[in-house]
Amino acid sequence: MSSVKFVNVKKRYGASDAAPWAVNDVSFEIPQGTLTTLLGPSGCGKTTTLRMIAGLEFATEGQIWMGGDNVTHLGPAQRAVSMMFQSYALFPHLRVLDNVMYGLRMSGVPHAQAAQRAMQTLTNVGLKSMEHRWPSELSGGQQQRVALARALVLEPAVLLFDEPLSNLDARLRREMREEIREIQQRLGLTVAYVTHDQSEALAVSDHVLVMNEGRIAQHGTPRALYDHPNSHFVANFMGEAVMLKAQVQADGHELKLGPLTWHSPQPLKPGSVELAIRPEAWQINDASQGLPAKVLKHAFLGPFYEVTLECEVGRLWLQMSNRDPLPQVGDVIGLTLGQVGVMVLPAQP
Ligand SMILES: Nc1ncnc2c1ncn2[C@@H]1O[C@H](COP(=O)(O)OP(=O)(O)O)[C@@H](O)[C@H]1O
Ligand SMILES: [Mg+2]
């Protein structure tokens, strides 16, 4: 069963018919108990989509369904949805337990019952012994967990996150995204999660909706989007890729990339295509084998070096393990392409 379903939803702000579509004809489903990420660059319509799930914005056209009910015209109070915002602003004058109980008390749950549910939720997010602390006595990550508990305690059918980790430093971001994923799976929550960070999307999601200019560019599992992007935009946004022009030969399988030949497992239409090449696709040989490429620079990034090269078909970069011998700037190496990490896309106009 799907918890959330959008059918041809469009949204423009303001009354003017001339206003641009913030969300332009979007259809998708979020299956119950799964986490779907809305991923895309700033301004592509992620927050607007999330706010339409919450009932904080209304669709200009189309329908929104939740758990089998048409909720298109229902307000936020009539939808079983909680939203966790970028700034998780706890009440500073309330202790942790009271912060978490607040929403329940507002909706009329008796004190003892609210306290018991809040304690259970604090246990679920790993804050069991912190209930008497003030928010100012907590680290950023702990405050984040209180905010999560505050949303969870209301037992929403759908939990919404809008860039929840963007205020945290890199290490804490990684920890928190793993925790959110763990709690989501343990409690079987249905989650819509907004981020512009592709590694976060890869790490937490069952499904990813890649958005571009108000539309869905592609929808799939992280692995499917990484391995089989259907456009230049998605190939670039889901992971790193170098884009190079290539020619499909008459046999439909051989592709020429300068002096390099790559074999497509699938038959293709002869003519120009664009190859999207992941950094892990390149194999490095001595200069006599494959595409000669001159080393322009390298940067040390811990587990690997990022090496920038100039060759006949353009400038490209790849990753080399820090355990492999590193070519020097000015050296010429030979590049060949493996089968993994090479994707054929329509030629760019
Ligand atoms: N309250 C608003 N009034 C008018 N335009 C808005 C409003 N909120 C967002 N927009 C516009 O809608 C588009 C999508 O915005 P948004 O959904 O916030 O994108 P994202 O969350 O992906 O950055 C943008 O062009 C933005 O400027
Ligand atoms: Mg946003």
Q: What is the DSSP string of 164-184?
A: TTTTS-HHHHHHHHHHHHHHH
| Residue ranges of domains in the chain, CATH in brackets | 2-234 (3.40.50.300), 254-346 (2.40.50.140)
- φ and ψ at 215, to 5 degrees? -120, 165
The answer to whether 50 touches 194, Cβ cutoff 8 Å, is yes
In the chain, how many H helices and how many E strands?
8, 20
Ligand 1 centroid–CA 49 distance in Å is 10
Give the position, in ligand 1's atom list, of the atom nearest the Cα of 57. 1
The answer to whether 149 touches 118, Cβ cutoff 8 Å, is yes
What is the DSSP-derived secondary structure letter of residue 307?
E
pLDDT above 70 coverage of the chain, percent = 98
The answer to whether 195 touches 163, Cβ cutoff 8 Å, is yes
The whole-angstrom distance between residue 210's C-alpha and the CA centroid of its chain comes to 7
Instruction: Say how many CA atoms lie within 13 Å of 73 toward its Cβ.
Output: 0
- The residue whose two tokens read 């706010």 is 51
Burial (CB < 10 A; 0-12, 13-18, 19+), residue 348, is exposed
pLDDT at 97: 97
**Ligand 1 pocket: which residues have CB below 6 Å?**
13, 22, 40, 42-48
Q: Which residues of the chain have pLDDT under 70?
A: 1-2, 85-88
Ligand 2 centroid–CA 248 distance in Å is 40
At 101, which helix (H) or strand (E)? helix 96-106
pLDDT at 73: 96
Give the position, in ligand 1's atom list, of the atom nearest the Cα of 163. 21
Q: What is the pLDDT of residues 220-262, one digit of tens each?
A: 999 999 999 999 999 999 888 999 999 999 999 999 998 899 9
The answer to whether 3 touches 81, Cβ cutoff 8 Å, is no
Cα(101)–Cα(113) distance, rounded to whole angstroms? 9
pLDDT at 187: 87
Ligand 1 centroid–CA 178 distance in Å is 28
Give this prediction's pTM. Answer: 0.89
- Helix pair angle (140-152, 96-106), 10° resolution: 20
User: Which protein residue's CA is at the shortest distance from atom 24 of ligand 1?
Assistant: 43
Instruction: Say how many CA atoms lie within 13 Å of 259 toward its Cβ.
Output: 12
pLDDT at 205: 97
Cα(133)–Cα(130) distance, rounded to whole angstroms? 6
* All residues at 6 or more sequence positions from 12 whose CB lies less than 8 Å from its CB, including other chains: 19, 20, 21, 22, 60
Mutate to test the pocket of ligand 1, among 16, 42, 48, 58 (most ligand atoms within 8 A of CB): 48
User: Which protein residue's CA is at the shortest distance from atom 20 of ligand 1?
Assistant: 43
- Cα dihedral value 197, 198, 201, 204, nearest 10: -90
Question: What are the respective helix, strand and coil percentages of the chain, to the nearest 5?
Answer: 25, 35, 40
User: Which protein residue's CA is at the shortest distance from atom 5 of ligand 1?
Assistant: 13
